[in-house]
Structure 1
Amino acid sequence: MSPRSHLKPVAGTAAACLLIAGSGLLAGCSTATAEGAAGGGPQTVAPPTATDSQAQPPVQTTEADWKPVADTLGRTGTLMKGTVYRVPLPRKDLKVTTQGVAIKPGLALGGYAVFAKYQRETILMGDLVVTEDELPKVTDALQAAGIEQTALHKHLLQQSPAVWWTHIHAMGAPVTLAKGLKSALAATAIPPASPPPATQPPINLDTASIDKALGRKGTADGGIYKFSIARKETITDGTHVLPSALGITTGINFQPLGGNKAAINGDFVMTAPEVQKVIRALRKGGIDIVELHNHTLNDQPRLFYMHFWATGDGVTLARALRPALDATALAPAS
C-alpha cells in the first residue's frame, strides 16, 4: 500500500477531500457525499450533525458476511449480537511486568479490532497494543492506509518493557479496511491467532463475593475474571449509532495473584460530569489512577475513559470499585 497521498475533489461535496492513494479510503472531508470512491470505496465522513434519533444503527450481519475480512486479516473474529465483528489481537508474545506483577494478556494486553456495517459503509474501530519500538512504524502504516489514530496512551503505571495503546477509526469498504489494518499489524510482532483453550484455567478468587460486591456477574476468560458493562444511553458519532460492543464499555479485570488476592486493571467510561466523582471514589478505595483520556474524536455524548490499577484482596477491591460504578450511568445488570 503506497504511503503517498494526493488531494482530489469528490463529487457532491462542498470541499475537497484527501484520497489516500491505493487505499480506497477518504480522509479530511468536511461534508458528506452521496457518492462513494470509485470501485465501491467508502463515503466521506461528515461532522456530527444528526440527532440521536436520526443516527443510523448498524445493520444485522452473519458470520459469512465477515469471511472476506477474516480471510484478508488471516484471523477469525466473533460476531456479537449480529452487528459487531470483533477480532482479538492479544499480545501473548510480550512479557510485561508492572510493580512486580507479571501481566497476563487478558488483564491489560488484549488488543482488538471491531467492524460494524451500516447502510452505506463499514466502521472499523479498535485498540492496538504496541511496543515503543513498534509505535512509529504502526503510526506510519495506519496513516498510509487512511486509518485515524484517535487516542494514544497507557493502561499501566510502571511497566517493562514500555508498551502503548493506540485507538483506531476508519470508515470504508470492509476488505479495504481489513487490508489497511493488516498493514499496521505487519509492523508489529502481534502473534497469529490461536484457538482458545478447551477448558478455562481456574480462577483462584472468591468470584461469588466479587459478583455480589459489584452487583453483576463476571466471566472467566483465560485466567482473568472480567466485567464489561455498557452505558445506559445511546452513543452516536452524530450519524451512526455506536453499539457498546465497539469498545464503549466500562471494563474491570481481576488477575488472581494467589491467596484470594488480585491485580485489577481496566477503564471506566464516563461523561464529563462523572469524571471527578469516579476519581474521588477510586482514590477513596485506594485505587490508583493511570490515565484519563478519550477513545474517539466525535462521540455524542462526549465520553472519557479512566484506567486504574491496584492489588489486594479481590473482594475488598471489588467493594472499593462499586462506588465508582455507581457514580456512572451504566446499563442495568442483566
Structure 2
Amino acid sequence: MRKTISALIGVSASFIASAHAQDVDWKKVDETLGRKPSVADDVHRYGFPRTDLTVTLDGVTIKPALALGGWLAFKPAHGGAMVMGDLVLLETEINPVMAKMIASGIEITAVHNHLLRASPATFYMHVAGHGDPVKLASAIHDALAESKTPLTVAAAGNPPAIDLDTAKLDQIIGVKGQGNGGVYQFNVKRRDPITEDGMPLTPVGPMGVAIAINFQPTGGGKAAITGDFVLTSDEVNPVIVALRTHGIEVTALHSHMLDEQPRLFFMHFWANDDAIKLAEGLRAALDKTASTKS
C-alpha cells in the first residue's frame, strides 16, 4: 500500500491534506456521505448496508447486519486521513464502481465472495486511500452511485427481538456481544498489534481487523452464522479443521489488505443450526487463534 499511496499523492494532488487531524471537518464528511458515523476513539465508521437487496441462502433471508453491511472507516493520519472499507456489490456493479474508484485514485485491495450459494450472489470490494477526508468521501460516494447501494438513510424502526440465549452465547464465545438489526454480533480482538503501511489499525473492530461473528435467529433456538476469522498463516488450517469438525462450512479464504503486518488471512464461514452448538464450534476455532477473551 505504501507504493500505491506515494503514487496516489503524486497523481491526485487534490487529495493531499495539509490540515492536522484535529482540523478534519467531520461534519462535512458526514454530509458528503449522507449519514452519521459511529465514533470509536479517533475512527469514524460509516455504514452502507445493502437494505435494497433481498438475499437468500439455504432458505434463510439474510439481514443486512448478518452479511450485507458495507462500511467505510476514516482515521486521521499524516495530516489528513486514511480510509479503509468493505463495500457490498452485485456482480454487475463491480466494474462500474471500480472504474470510478480508480479514476479518483482510490485503491482496490480485494474483490471476492464471502458466501456460497447466495441468491443473488454478492461480492465485496475492499478499498483504501489517504488524503483529504472530504475529498476521499466524495470520491467513494460518487463511485457507490454507480451501484444501487442506498445513499440516503431510511428512518430507523424498532429493531427485531433476538430470540436467542444471548447470555449463554456471550459465555461460550468469551466476549460480550451486541444486537444490531436483529443480528447478535461479536467482535473478538487479536492479541497481536496490526498495522497497515505502518499505521496501527486501532480500534480493531471499527477498522475491520477483529474476528467478526454474527448470529441471526432462524427459529427454534437455531441461528444462521457468518463472519470472518482474522488469522495468521499458521492458524489457517487448524481453524479450518475446527470449523468443519463442528459442522461449520468454510466459504472463503483470502486477504483484505495489501501491506498489513503481520500478514493476515480472512476466513468466512456459514452454518444454520442450533445456536449453542454452533457457538461451541466457533469457540473451538477461536481457541486455535491468538485472540482475546474479555
TM over 0.5, yes or no?
Answer: yes
Q: How does 1:16-27 map to 2 (within 5 A)?
A: 18=7, 25-26=9-10
Match of 1:321 in 2: 282
Q: How does 1:230-245 map to 2 (within 5 A)?
A: 230-243=189-202, 244=204, 245=206
Contact 2:25 2:134 in 1 (8 A): no
From the superposition, tell whether residues 84 and 61 of structure 1 become closer, same or farther in structure 2 (CA, over 3 Å). farther
Q: 2:79 aligns with which of 85, 99, 120?
A: 120
Match of 2:188 in 1: 229
Identical amino acids, percent of aligned pairs: 45
CA RMSD, 1 decimal: 2.1
SS at match of 2:35: coil
Q: Tell me the alpha carbon deviations over residues 63-101 of structure 1, each in whole angstroms, 9 at most, x when there is no partner.
A: x841111112222212112x1100000000000011111
1:41 aligns with 2:1: no
Counterpart CA distance in 1 for 2:99 and 2:10 is 16
Contact 1:26 1:42 in 2 (8 A): no
From the superposition, tell whether residues 283 and 61 of structure 1 become closer, same or farther in structure 2 (CA, over 3 Å). farther
Q: How does 1:44-59 map to 2 (within 5 A)?
A: none
Q: Tell me the alpha carbon deviations over residues 267-321 of structure 1, each in whole angstroms, 9 at most, x when there is no partner.
A: 0001111111111110110100010001100100111100000010011100111
Report the Cα offset of residue 227 of structure 1: 0.3
From the superposition, tell whether residues 100 and 40 of structure 1 become closer, same or farther in structure 2 (CA, over 3 Å). closer
SS at match of 1:216: coil
Q: 1:283 aligns with which of 233, 237, 244?
A: 244
Match of 1:154 in 2: 113
Report the Cα offset of residue 331 of structure 1: 3.0
Counterpart CA distance in 1 for 2:128 and 2:245 is 35
Work out the number of aligned pairs and report it: 286
Counterpart CA distance in 2 for 1:241 and 1:313 is 37
Flag as ranges the 4+ runs of structure 1 deviating above 4 A. Answer: 37-40, 59-62
Match of 1:9 in 2: none
Contact 1:270 1:304 in 2 (8 A): yes
Report the Cα offset of residue 229 of structure 1: 1.5
Counterpart CA distance in 2 for 1:146 and 1:80 is 27
1:293 aligns with 2:254: yes
Decide which structure has the larger Cα Rg and report it.
1
Match of 2:132 in 1: 173
Match of 1:68 in 2: 28
Q: What residue ranges of structure 2 are gaps of 5+ in the alignment?
A: none
Report the Cα offset of residue 215 of structure 1: 1.6
